[in-house]
Structure 1
């Protein structure tokens, strides 16, 4: 029993160590950055894609970039703003979700109360 508990706690600590909340900065006109796993992808009929972070952004973080948000658990891409980017974004995020690979995204402004993602890259 003690060995099982130890193994469970070891696994929990390993997964928790990979969690990384988004951070924001005032430099370059203000932006937020997230590097971590994609926990969920969501697309609604209003044309908004949401990519959920493994750890929520602290509520005070967006003000460092001059951004006002209502939601801190996901970043957004509005499909109609740039349909080509939205397709590439979704395929990259879906690849990360299905393989467990990390992504990095940068976010500026807000869309639907979520930080607006304007770039993404897949990490090894």
Structure 2
């Protein structure tokens, strides 16, 4: 008996490698360049996303440079749903359950940040 191949989960983030700033809104403290998004003061980095309320989403990304602060992935619009705050260089993974009205995905930098992120991926579980 042949098993079914797992169904591929579509990637919800376009330009998660920050090859350009297209699709992203870099708020105060954030900038995009040289293939990374960098936060040097508290603020938000956002982009539009289409998610389903009540569904869980896996968020993967890399912190490629870090000397201070935290970065927290979130879904906003409606009631904000946040993943786990992270610090330190390395691959990060968190799960976020979408709320009604969530139409924006992004990161909030806090705690006097000085960090860069890259390779952002969001997929429904």
TM-score under structure 1 normalisation? 0.32
Q: TM-score when scaled to structure 2?
A: 0.31
In our comparison, the structure showing a higher alpha carbon Rg is 1
Q: Write 1 or 2 for the structure with the bigger share of helix.
A: 1
